[in-house]
Amino acid sequence: MLDLTGKNALVTGIANNRSIAWGIAQQLHQAGANLGVTFLPDDKGRFEKKVRDLVEPLNPSIFVPCDVQNEEQIESAFGTIADMWGKLDILIHCLAFADKEGLSGEFSGISREAFTKSLDISTYSLVRMAKSAKPLMKEGGSIVTLTYVGGVKVIPNYNLMGVAKAGLEMSVRYLAAELGSHNIRVNGISAGPIRTLASSAVGGILDMIHHVEQVAPLKRTVTQTEVGNTAAFLCSDLSSGITGQIIYVDAGYEIMGM
Ligand SMILES: NC(=O)c1ccc[n+]([C@@H]2O[C@H](COP(=O)([O-])OP(=O)(O)OC[C@H]3O[C@@H](n4cnc5c(N)ncnc54)[C@H](O)[C@@H]3O)[C@@H](O)[C@H]2O)c1
């Protein structure tokens, strides 16, 4: 039923084997998609090697650097897609960043620099990538981003990232409204807490997970694979009528009032 054969998918945000993007890449590959992978370059090339070794079994046909704060790298990544694939069907936006000062302590104390950087990387990057993806999604397409309930409700320590996610979720709606006439769908997955590199920077992530395990209807949090399965569904024709939505993959936590 879920067949992505013949679809070209660009996956951003793989840092290591705990990354949600890694769970998504595996499920897209299993469904038959042809993968392209971006990595965040660093001076010593450590991320590149780590991500390259990790994704090798999935045979990505494109593997390129893409720091979303770097215009040249964004242009170059989508230029490579145009040259090698000619068209893009799926864009997975699975990245975020906030300085430590934005993820604990007093919200009112967050600096202008930290605020701007976080929203640039975590929120604007979706809009920027959608701009480059649009002309390549000639046969329509699906854009999926990752968000968290901390973008609609106050979660202790999520602070700055909550603002970034609120902006991201609204960007999903505005992009969906614009791109719908090109048969490009834009949706977000609001995932339950999962231990990853990024989430470990949020103060008290383990407490969040334990809280979800007690309160969520399913009495547990979710896995990368479960998020990956929902992403594959949102990228497939099975979800052809869904756009502009935030789908909760959180073991039901979001419905609970207490
Ligand atoms: N882990 C959770 O509990 C959870 C829950 C809901 C949503 N999310 C969201 O899932 C997404 C993926 O996070 P994760 O938890 O898998 O952590 P992760 O650390 O594995 O992934 C974060 C990614 O962001 C990338 N990144 C940071 N700055 C970048 C930049 N300037 N340019 C390009 N890439 C950059 C990193 O390289 C990394 O690959 C994020 O949007 C996060 O907010 C995570």
Q: What is the pLDDT of residues 138-158, one digit of tens each?
A: 999 999 999 999 999 999 999
The helix (H) or strand (E) run that includes residue 105 is none
Domain boundaries, the chain: 8-250
Q: Copy the structure tokens of residue 203.
A: 């103060």
Annotated binding residues for NAD(+):
13, 19-20, 67-68, 95, 165, 194-198
Which CATH architecture fits 8-250? 3-Layer(aba) Sandwich (3.40)
Whole-angstrom CA distances from 124 to 66, 121, 167 are 14, 6, 9
**pLDDT < 70 regions, the chain:** 1
Annotated binding residues for substrate:
98
DSSP state of 138: B
* Model pLDDT, residue 91: 99
CA of 138 to the centre of ligand 1 (A): 28
* Model pLDDT, residue 69: 98
Whole-angstrom CA distances from 177 to 127, 165, 172, 227, 244 are 13, 18, 9, 24, 7
Q: Copy the structure tokens of residue 194.
A: 């999962």
Residues involved in catalysis:
148, 158
* Tokens 């409700």 -> residue: 153
* Model pLDDT, residue 203: 83
Indicate the top mutation candidate among 55, 117, 199, 253 to test ligand 1's pocket, ranked by most ligand atoms within 8 A of CB: 199
* Model pLDDT, residue 71: 98
* Cα–Cα distance, 243 to 70 (Å, whole number): 28
CB atoms within 10 A of CB 61: 11
**Pocket residues: Cβ below 6 A from ligand 1:** 13-15, 18-21, 40, 66-69, 94-97, 121, 146-148, 191, 193-194, 196-199
* Cα–Cα distance, 194 to 75 (Å, whole number): 31
DSSP state of 83: H
* Model pLDDT, residue 8: 98
The helix (H) or strand (E) run that includes residue 63 is strand 62-65
* Model pLDDT, residue 20: 98
The residue contributing the CA closest to ligand 1 atom 32 is 67
